Structure 1
Amino acid sequence: MNQSILFPDMQTWDEDKQVVLFPAQQSGALIQCLVSISELKQLSGQDIENEQQALEVFSQYRFDLEELAEELIEEEEFNSEGNIEVVS
């Protein structure tokens, strides 16, 4: 694991976009990462109906999601808004 990318234990739910947001920090820069509810469903095989379930599934798969986000950050795969969209 690249120690220059840190993931604080913080996550929030964005109801409008139906995504879990979680920050990463690289060399002092804050990077917003996100994973969609559909991606969480695909990863977990679980049906996700609400914010609580989305955050629970995110917590269960946090390590895997952080690894995917780390790879995308290292490859500079930012979206048009400057965020990292985690997809497997």
Structure 2
Amino acid sequence: MNQQVQFNEQVHLHWDQGWLQFDALMAGHKVPCLITLEELARRWGQPLNEPELVSVAFEQLRFDLEAEAEGLIEDEAFDTQGRIWLGHPAI
């Protein structure tokens, strides 16, 4: 596909739903990128039992998560709602 993917600094924690969202922009379109808190905790190596820890974990893993999301976007691995899920196949 070879389109430039950019990420903004906004991160949205959906604590009650159990996932975190960060957004990419590709060809002028917003692409929601999601990771479950369980998967984020697994990658970080410790539990995320407080909302404040989620942002710490994300910031430490941001570069790798954005790189993974960019690859999934380029592979067009969108779910039925046009979102990208890290850590498991598109739903």
TM-score (norm 1): 0.90
Q: Residues 11 and 21 of structure 1 are in contact (CA less than 8 Å); yes or no, is this contact kept in structure 2?
A: yes
Q: CA deviation at 1:51?
A: 1.6
CA distance in 1, matches of 2:86, 2:30: 16
**Percent identity among equivalent residues?**
33
Moved over 4 A (4+): none
Q: Residues 3 and 74 of structure 2 are in contact (CA less than 8 Å); yes or no, is this contact kept in structure 1?
A: no
Q: Which has the larger displacement, 26-35 or 10-19? A: 10-19
1:1-88 equivalences under 5 Å are 4-87=4-87
Q: Which structure 2 residue ranges, 5 or more long, are not aligned?
A: none
CA distance in 1, matches of 2:58, 2:51: 10
* Count of aligned pairs between the two proteins: 87
**Higher relative strand content:** 2
TM-score (norm 2): 0.88
Map Cα deviations across residues 24-63 of structure 1 (whole Å, 9 max, x no partner).
Answer: 0001011011111111111111111022111110111000
